[in-house]
A and B are shown apart, each in its own frame.
Chain A
Amino acid sequence: MTDSKYFTTTKKGEIFELKAELNSDKKEKKKEAVKKVIASMTVGKDVSALFPDVVNCMQTDNLELKKLVYLYLMNYAKSQPDMAIMAVNTFVKDCEDPNPLIRALAVRTMGCIRVDKITEYLCEPLRKCLKDEDPYVRKTAAVCVAKLHDINAQLVEDQGFLDTLKDLISDSNPMVVANAVAALSEIAESHPSSNLLDLNPQSINKLLTALNECTEWGQIFILDCLANYMPKDDREAQSICERVTPRLSHANSAVVLSAVKVLMKFMEMLSKDLDYYGTLLKKLAPPLVTLLSAEPELQYVALRNINLIVQKRPEILKHEMKVFFVKYNDPIYVKLEKLDIMIRLASQANIAQVLAELKEYATEVDVDFVRKAVRAIGRCAIKVEQSAERCVSTLLDLIQTKVNYVVQEAIVVIKDIFRKYPNKYESVIATLCENLDSLDEPEARAAMIWIVGEYAERIDNADELLESFLEGFHDESTQVQLQLLTAIVKLFLKKPTETQELVQQVLSLATQDSDNPDLRDRGYIYWRLLSTDPVAAKEVVLAEKPLISEETDLIEPTLLDELICYIGTLASVYHKPPSAFVEGSRGVVHKSLPPRTGSSESAESPEAAPSAGQAAEQPAVIPAQGDLLGDLLNLDLGPPVSGPPLAASSVQMGAVDLLGGGLDSLMGGSGFTAPGPAAPAAMGAPLGSGLGDLFDLTGGVGTLSGSYVAPKTVWLPAMKAKGLEISGTFSRQVGSISMDLVLTNKALQVMSDFAIQFNRNSFGLAPAAPLQVHAPLAPNQSVEISLPLNTVGSVMKMDPLNNLQVAVKNNIDVFYFSTLYPLHILFVEDGKMERQMFLATWKDIPNENEAQFQIKDCSLNADAVSSKLQGSNIFTIAKRNVEGQDMLYQSLKLTNGIWVLAELRIQPSNPSFTLSLKCRAPEVSQYVYQAYDAILKN
């Protein structure tokens, strides 16, 4: 039985032979025959012809044989559904077997057979097995519910299996709990709005207890489920963290990482003043470091996750720089990832150490790694100003080696250093020019040309240098051609007398001999600029450039927050949210970090907010790549460059800056300030703030007063409420929602003891404070009350979506009424999306999610519209004019994190606007439209 006799090729007689063996009386022979069948099936041979014979072997008391037959059934039942029915009776019988292993096996197998007729028979046995006395059977049955749900979701709901499954969360056996959690999590994913995993402090407590007892794999299910829970306050978050922390020392790295995810998420809610916060930070470092001693594959995954973690919380690993030093025998993908993290952790304190390492790396053998190391030196220079000089001299040393690819990389990064520290290191230009001939990569050539053009007045033979590039103009890549065109125009503007011929030559090359529309367009624009108004040309082409930002390679903060929620999933390896790479029917639920409830949040600790601080000091720092506005106004953006963003960003964006910087200063002078809550968003996108502030200017003070408030209407007439009349409206002011009520006593007796309660609703609106009516309400008296609301209540989808059912109690009775709230009270202040995000998201949302509406009879112009909308937290991201129509691109975010993107088309002569809304949850679109309509018409 040793040789591979299962694997002989299918000859004609073989099936026949197997058939005979399967029908043999001898058990051993039968078993061997089934094994052969399974072996053939595994290697992909078609043995479906043996179906009846194999099924005949099913009724056996030999468990091994039974398993093999079941395996065969799972494989072929789908292609032979009619035959599969033959097996049903045995299945049902096995589900009643006294041996729990057989009961579990039967229910497990039935769930895997995706044939409707079998599924029908599954319900009864499954119901029994879910309540089986043996935990092994229960845990198998729990998974089976998920299987059944995958085949027929309606059936599972109708049969009430979901409730049984929920009960299993409180099971005494931790493995059953873990499987129930896993099954429920999966089912809940396909019903984002349902309340399946209704986690509350009690059930969380049960999960945490089970966490200590179940297998490592079960712990992962439970931890992943915990990560989706939103603790009600910081105290609860802390107590969960305390109970999860011991998992950090588990030997299974998957458990460790799932625990890290939970902690990272809940830490968000803890106040940084707490001692516990510091303790927790300290506890996170060792397990992360330990992950790096795993196999290279795991190291890579760990590093990708650590990369996210250090961007979010650099303080965790700031003392652990050494563990990220590259080992010579690390695989290249580990090396590159480590380099990236080294840069992120680089600071003034450790920069000397880092630079020494990087210099070593730059002499290694592996070309890719050396290139990245050279780039890293440049990034250090940009990130840590104090180190810039040493970085530049290190780079010069490297250029002296004359190793071709080292020189080219060094030139690319030096160009970036020039952009960060203008007029500081230009003395090295001479050295760079010596290496002109050895540059053969487009990126390096483009960088060198940029340097020559930018500093043409300091390079005596700049015209000769550029001319030498011009000879092979048509063989150059587009990137180089564009750069060359711009550089020569710059040169001409600086030294007009000697270079007239050169500029004419390049303009004609670009406009007449080129097929590339970008190049041609840019050529024409320069040409016309130069011919109509040279002074304007100078202002445009030689405009002062914004400094490049050190953080160009950081992940955008909102994306980062989302990715933190996906630590330990594939998303963290790709550094993309699942929506960017998951295809398929399942709706993707966007996850977000919980808001911090502790105090002192407005004053972020200094190390956590370097980017915001940086941006505030230097309003001209530009984001990395082209954006909507950039596309429209920037003449100089090349085709998408596949290299790292640093290089792409460094093409000049003078025109953009003209708009951004100019308006910024205008705004500063006039003493206007953006409304408080909107300011952080504007800081994140300094370029945008210019535009945003423009609207503030035109919008006037009106924007400061908060969002639009509808007039009060009567919600509860006195007739229906024994004399109590309630009228009210909703408002949102500086981030807080309130319900403004007028209670009128139209009865003849005094009213007192008022209380209010909301039913569960779509957005979790709930009173944030009790209803306080200070004195009893005398007959014919009215009282105005503003009831603060929050959105942390329980959620249930209502129809219509914005329906709110309210109960009001007083000393007389309890009264119920329902009202519709305008959706714009849920538009949050940080609903301004980054332009790039906007573009990407707009493309990303499928077209069937787009909804179009008409807003009739509105006579406002585009600017007035956008200022009005901004007052209600609908933010205009860009505006463009297409064929006389104004197009406004807007974003808003709901309190539950749903983003809505809008395109508003305004024709000057037509009082009807067209509103297109795109949202991942398209059911909100209609209500957003109603909000637009209400805001614009009032």
Chain B
Amino acid sequence: MISQLFILSSKGDRLVYRNFRGDGGDDVTDAFYRAVTSLPGDRAPVFMAREGRHFVHVRHGGLYVGVTTTADTSPFVLVEFLNRLVTLLREHCGTLSEKSVSVNVALVHELLGEMVDFGYIQTTATEVLRSATHGEPETTKAFSLLDLRSVGLFGAETQQSKVAPGSITNRPVLPPRGEQPARSELFVDVVERLTVVIAANGTPLKVDVQGEIRLKSFVPGGCELRMGLTEELSVGTEEQRGYGRLPLAAVAFHSSVDLEEFEQERVLRVTPGPGEVTLMRYQLAEDVPVPLPFRLLPSVEWDPAGRLRIHLKLRCDLPPKQGDPTLCPPSPPSSHAINVVLQLPLPREASSLAQELSSPEQTAELQGGGRCLRWAIPRCQGGAQLGAVFRVQLPPTPPLGLGPAALTFELPALTVSGLRLRCLRLSAPPGAPPAPPQRWVRHLTHSDSYVVRL
């Protein structure tokens, strides 16, 4: 049960506060802010017991969205609820920021009134809330530079993505009452996260691909969406799934997805209301070889005076040409990785760094007080091989091994599993506006944890 709910600005100002159960004073937000700011560094635990209360919070857009609760409540319920709340606030206020929340405070209260009663969560479904609320959202202009974070995919927490018009997703999904929506649009993102551990000898120890298909719809409800997935898909344990090229170990669907045609045709049918949903989450079976995007070939020379010479060769194993015109939309002609960053922990605090990089747009620096080497490559074409030499001065004791190297990157327009959307059809309900909605399909892989041991 939720006792109190609050949204605080990054400075601790109270933007929204509801006391659902009439217990406790109104000073909880101060207590919370004191507690959360007194924590060391980034290690804010999700759950804090302070001054006789249990706090649960999440941070989004610089805001603290939190609740206080009694002990017998499921923490999952609370975190899930808070995440939903954040999504809903985004849907209703466009973006989630101090400004958008404070301008829409009446609407937020109205939503909360429907979502939670006496601390019991009632609903978080956009459509239900739509029918029970009456407030109109006030939009705020996205402020230009500071808001770069929210540009790009709404789903993945990536720094940026230039594959689709991002900023248009930052508006309330619900058009003002009585008006035609400005543009009816539909976004489908297939986002995969890649977790890889490669042993020192180059063999992959662990390859884990998790993906999800997310849908954000600005289309008024009522039209049915048919979404065809790669046909080679197969689901289940090894015995069950047969010989598909794309075996998934586990799949979970949103409850609104109609799976009637999934077994035979690999088609998901869904009738989306306006709003954002995760239609499908999946996990690639672990025993399947996935072409790994990067390979790292290091060589390290060490002399007793503490000079370390590290020669790194980074090979991007993405196919240089990847064109398959039968796909809809056709995949881009070539593949590449962007925002590649390699981080290499050093055994001791390094005092100096000299580098030779293969192109001027790359950068290298020491971080964490000299404990970590950071090599950034803004863009890397499929099939390319990049080399770099680093000379590092360390204190003269034998090093306790180097690494492991961690890579972060994004692969736009590519899913490592090979799962793609074959087609996306909208069947309009009778009496729908003549203009078919604009459809955007985006594929993306980003590295969750890509570790190469040395």
| A interface residue numbers (CB < 8 A to B) | 1-2, 4, 6-7, 35, 38-39, 42-44, 63-64, 67-68, 71, 78, 101, 108, 111-112, 114, 139-140, 143-144, 146-147, 150, 175, 179, 182-183, 186, 189, 215-217, 220-221, 224, 249-254, 256-258, 286, 289-290, 293, 295, 297-298, 300-302, 322-323, 325, 327-333, 360, 363-365, 400-403, 406, 566, 568-574, 578, 581-583
Contacts and interface: CB of A to CB of B under 8 A. Distances in A.
A290 B134 contact: no
B120 A6 contact: no
Interface stretch (B87-95, B160-168, B299-307, B394-402): B394-402
Contacts of B255: 216, 250-251
Contact of A43 (B13, B81, B347): B13
Nearest to A189: B72
Contacts of A179: 120, 122
Contact of B110 (A44, A67, A300): A67
Given A328-B404, A365-B368, A401-B400, A568 B74 contact: yes
A602 to B, nearest CB: 34
Nearest to A261: B74
Interface stretch (B15-23, B143-151, B218-226, B267-275): B15-23
A570 B71 contact: yes
Contacts of B75: 301, 568-570, 572-573
Nearest to B30: A44
Given A44-B26, A217-B77, A331 B49 contact: no
Contact of B79 (A7, A297, A323): A297
Contacts of A186: 1
B249 interface: yes
A332 B372 contact: no
A300 B210 CA distance: 18
B250 A328 contact: no
A298 B79 contact: yes
Interface stretch (B98-106, B183-191, B432-440): B98-106
8 contacts: A7-B102, A38-B105, A108-B113, A150-B22, A293-B283, A297-B79, A401-B398, A570-B47
A582 B53 CA distance: 9
B23 to A, nearest CB: 8
Centre residue among B54, B122, B134, B206 by max chain A CB count within 10 A: B122
B120 A571 contact: no
B135 interface: yes
Centre residue among A6, A143, A189, A569 by max chain B CB count within 10 A: A569
A252 B80 contact: yes
Nearest to A304: B75
A568 B58 CA distance: 18
A642 B326 CA distance: 64
Interface of B: 1, 13-17, 20-22, 26, 42-43, 45-47, 49, 52, 54, 58, 69-77, 79-81, 83, 99, 102-103, 105-106, 109-110, 113, 117-118, 120-125, 132, 134-135, 138, 140-141, 193, 195, 197, 206, 208, 210, 249-250, 252-255, 278, 281, 283, 286, 345, 347, 368, 371-372, 397-398, 400-401, 403-404, 406, 408, 448-449, 451, 453
A331 B16 CA distance: 29
Given A217-B122, A298-B79, A328 B206 contact: no
B51 to A, nearest CB: 11
Nearest to B211: A293
Given A67-B110, A333-B45, A402-B397, A253 B406 contact: no
Contact of A42 (B16, B72, B99): B16
B117 A215 contact: no
Contacts of A293: 193, 210, 281, 283
B400 A71 contact: no
Nearest to A178: B120
A879 B372 CA distance: 59
A73 to B, nearest CB: 12
Nearest to A353: B205
B1 to A, nearest CB: 7
Contact of A327 (B74, B398, B448): B448
B138 A43 contact: no
A251 B105 contact: no
Contacts of A581: 49, 71
Centre residue among B22, B76, B132 by max chain A CB count within 10 A: B76
A146 B76 contact: no
Nearest to B69: A570
Contacts of B16: 42
Nearest to A290: B250
Given A143-B118, A331-B43, A365-B372, A101 B132 contact: yes
B262 to A, nearest CB: 14
Contact of A68 (B73, B106, B406, B451): B106
B14 A43 contact: yes
Contacts of B46: 297, 300-301
B109 A71 contact: yes
Contacts of B138: 1-2
A157 B117 CA distance: 22
A578 B134 contact: no
A379 to B, nearest CB: 21
Contacts of B123: 215, 217
Contact of A257 (B14, B70, B76): B76
Contact of B118 (A146, A224, A332): A146
Contacts of A583: 52
A187 to B, nearest CB: 12
Nearest to B46: A297
Given A35-B106, A257-B76, 8 more contacts: A42-B15, A44-B14, A112-B22, A140-B117, A302-B76, A329-B448, A570-B71, A574-B47
A298 B102 contact: no
Contact of B47 (A38, A39, A568, A573): A573
A140 B116 CA distance: 11
A301 B397 contact: no
A365 B42 contact: no
B135 A64 contact: yes
A400 B401 CA distance: 12
A220 B74 CA distance: 9
A332 B76 contact: no
B292 to A, nearest CB: 16
Nearest to A5: B103
A137 B361 CA distance: 63
B453 to A, nearest CB: 6
B113 A360 contact: no
Centre residue among A64, A400, A578 by max chain B CB count within 10 A: A64
Contact of B253 (A146, A251, A406): A251
Contacts of B135: 64
Given A43-B14, A402-B397, A253 B76 contact: yes
B73 A570 contact: yes
B77 A254 contact: yes
A290 B248 CA distance: 13
Given A64-B134, A143-B118, A215-B123, A254 B278 contact: no
B253 A582 contact: no
B451 to A, nearest CB: 5
A318 B120 CA distance: 37
Contact of B286 (A216, A217, A252, A322): A322
